[in-house]
Amino acid sequence: MSISLDLAERIVRLSQDDLTACAVDNAKTVILDTVGCALAGADEPVVRTLLRTPGLATPGPASLIGRRERLDPLCAALVNGAAAHALDFDDVNVAIGGHPSAPVLPALLALAETRTVSGRDLLLAFVAGFETETRLARCVNFHHYEKGWHPTATMGVFGAAAACAKLLGLRAEQVAMALSMCGSLASGIKANFGTMTKPFHVGHCARNGLMAALLAREGFTANPDAFEHKQGFFLVYNGTGTFDPAAATRDWAAPLDIVEPGIGIKLYPCCDSTHTALDALFTLAKRHAFTVDDVARMDVLVHPLRLLHVDRPTLATELDAKFSVQYCLARGLLDGRIGLDSFGAAPRAEPRLQELMSRVTAAPHPDPSQAIDGNYLTELTVTLTDGRRLHLKMDSPYGRRPEDPAPPELIAAKFAGCAAKALPPRAVLRLREALLAFETLDDVAALGRAWTPPQGIPMHAGAARMPFDPAVVRP
């Protein structure tokens, strides 16, 4: 049996009985988080550019999260996917080495607005997509990641296709065709991190995954051996000896990936590879009560796989700042926090910020073999002006493991802060309540009205500052 058909049969068999209470709760949490990130990103330059580009904003029935336009479902999947990832604030996953929900949810929501879909059915389809992309990621990572592919997109397209195929009720043979098509549709390289193209990757794969499922429903064909073929996905994208095909179905849904290792909620709106360094900085500052004036220099060692795209001692663009561990540490030291307002032209041009960045040195960790799953290994040394050297080694950011989840109060505050950029306070509260009761929804399309800014209120006028400081709450 081909890998695509084996996966397809498992996707088709996945049922409500497979969704434990933890799976449902975790799915609702990341859906809430993704919608919040899309609300915050709804007026970012990448979204505005997509909307004014001919052919990418065809009118239709599907709503845009945090905007009043309604588009064709494929266009809506593209724009909402880009919006959800525009601020690099959406959830993360260890197996993918990237972001699992932003590629899948926008495709499902766009499809759901073309038919009547219950919250229970969409949750099941979402979990099916999440399981598919994370299992395939186990086949290829971390060589795939190190080679330069953006796994959020190259894996996410399979997740989006699986989820949409599940929601459409396709037969296993049709699901296999959709997955095989995605072997040709997978794309995204890390060279484009720090530019509009990175969130475009996510919108692009959401659209492509939805398109593959719709084409498969109509009888479109692809090679069912597209994964294992000698010129197929595994050999072309990874290379001989760098992948494990059996990992695609090994222990499938036992437990579901969304349960174990579970979900990872980002607490800072910047590249995930900077988060461990930020947590180390804020932890040391809390323990030793130093301020920006006390710091002579900061030296950070980051796992080589992650340092590659966050070692940016100078910034060419505003987006560069989100992918610069030097900027993030300097900004965090200066403000004692990192929030939505920490990035942009004004913060980047601040003279003292430039001087602080010169005090930060970044280097690859000399012993990456010490890393655990996720390759977040980071060591930070802060040298104070009185000669003291404060040191902290961390294996991962806070809130990324089942035994150390992100606190519910921070998740709620993050959603409120993100949603406030697009919706008035009462609308934020109503939307949050609806998303937390997702499984009770009779028609998911009702959410489109809940996240559309009311007439008469300027869109995207909400406060930019996050209403919480993770450093205060975490150890």
How confident is residue 471, by pLDDT bands cut at 50, 70 and 90?
very low
167 shares its domain with 56: yes
Assigned domain for 471 exists: no
Distance CA 104, CA 162 (A): 9
- The per-residue pLDDT for 460 is 57
Domain boundary among 336, 368, 397: 397
Distance CA 76, CA 161 (A): 15
Residue 464 has pLDDT above 50, yes or no: no
234 shares its domain with 330: no
74 shares its domain with 150: yes
- The per-residue pLDDT for 459 is 58
Domain boundary among 397, 426, 448: 397
Domain residues for the domain of 194 are: 3-248
284 shares its domain with 244: no
Backbone conformation region of residue 452, classed left if phi is above 0, alpha if psi is from -120 to 50, else beta? beta
122 shares its domain with 161: yes
Assigned domain for 378 exists: yes
**Contact criterion met (CB below 8 Å) for 154 and 186:** yes
Report the side by side order of strands in the sheet with 389-394: 360-364, 295-302, 378-384, 389-394
Half-sphere exposure of 220 (CA within 13 A, CB side): 15
pLDDT above 70 as % of the chain: 96
Amino acid identity, position 213 = A
Assigned domain for 416 exists: no
Assigned domain for 56 exists: yes
List, for residues 329-338, the tens digit of each pLDDT value.
Answer: 999 999 999 9
Assigned domain for 136 exists: yes
Residue 210 has pLDDT above 90, yes or no: yes
Residue 58, CA distances (Å) to 79, 130, 335, 368, 449 in order: 11, 28, 42, 47, 19
181 shares its domain with 320: no
Q: Is 116 exposed, middle or buried (0-12, 13-18, 19+ CB in 10 A)?
A: exposed
Domain boundary among 216, 248, 280: 248
Residue 474 has pLDDT above 60, yes or no: no
List, for residues 26-63, the tens digit of each pLDDT value.
Answer: 999 999 999 999 999 999 999 999 999 999 999 999 99
Q: What is the 3-state secondary structure (H, E, C) of 125-138?
A: HHHHHHHHHHHHHH
Strand-pair partners of 389? 383
Residue 473 has pLDDT above 50, yes or no: no
Residue 232 has pLDDT above 60, yes or no: yes
CATH number at residue 309: 3.30.1330.120
- The per-residue pLDDT for 12 is 98
List, for residues 356-398, the tens digit of each pLDDT value.
Answer: 999 999 999 999 889 888 889 999 999 999 999 999 999 999 8
- Tell me how long the chain is: 475
List, for residues 114-141, the tens digit of each pLDDT value.
Answer: 999 999 999 999 999 999 999 999 999 9
Q: Taking all residues of the chain, what is their mean pLDDT, rounded to a whole number?
A: 94
- The per-residue pLDDT for 463 is 45
175 shares its domain with 122: yes
How confident is residue 458, by pLDDT bands cut at 50, 70 and 90?
low
Q: What's the structural domain count of the chain? A: 2
CATH number at residue 205: 1.10.4100.10
List, for residues 50-103, the tens digit of each pLDDT value.
Answer: 999 999 999 999 999 999 999 999 999 999 999 999 999 999 999 999 999 999
Strand-pair partners of 297? 383
Other Cβ atoms less than 10 A from the Cβ of 353: the count is 19
Residue 467 has pLDDT above 50, yes or no: no
- The per-residue pLDDT for 457 is 63
Residue 11 has pLDDT above 90, yes or no: yes
181 shares its domain with 315: no
Residue 454 has pLDDT above 50, yes or no: yes
Residue 416 has pLDDT above 60, yes or no: yes
Distance CA 106, CA 206 (A): 6
Amino acid identity, position 202 = V
45 shares its domain with 135: yes
